[in-house]
Amino acid sequence: MQVNNRTNIPYTAGQSMKVISGFSQDENGRWKPNIIDGGKCSFAEIIDSAEAERSWMGELASTPYSYRINKGYNAEENSISLVPGMRARLSNGYQLVIENGMVRSYGNIHNVAAGFESNDLASALGTLIKVANGQTRISIFHFDPQYDKYAEKALQAFGVDTSRPFIINESKFYIDGRGKIREWGK
Predicted local confidence at residue 79, as pLDDT: 96
Strand, coil or helix: 133? coil
- CB burial readout 95-125, b (16+ within 10 A) else e: bbbbbebbbbbbbebeeeebbbbbbbbbbbb
Per-residue pLDDT for 64 more than 70? yes
CB-CB contact of 114 with 107 (8 Å) = yes
H/E segment holding residue 28: none
Predicted local confidence at residue 101, as pLDDT: 86
Predicted local confidence at residue 23, as pLDDT: 60
CB-CB contact of 17 with 44 (8 Å) = yes
For the chain, percent of residues with pLDDT exceeding 70: 66
Predicted local confidence at residue 29, as pLDDT: 65
Express each pLDDT in 13-56 by its tens digit. 444 444 555 566 666 666 666 655 544 443 434 444 444 444 44
Highest mean pLDDT among 28-32, 104-108, 140-144, 173-177: 173-177
Express each pLDDT in 154-170 by its tens digit. 999 999 999 999 999 99
Predicted local confidence at residue 37, as pLDDT: 52
What CA–CA distance (Å, rounded) separates 155 from 134? 18
What is the pTM for the complete model shown? 0.67
Express each pLDDT in 109-131 by its tens digit. 888 889 899 999 999 999 999 99
Q: What is the mean pLDDT of the chain?
A: 77
Helices (H), the chain: 49-61, 112-132, 138-141, 147-157
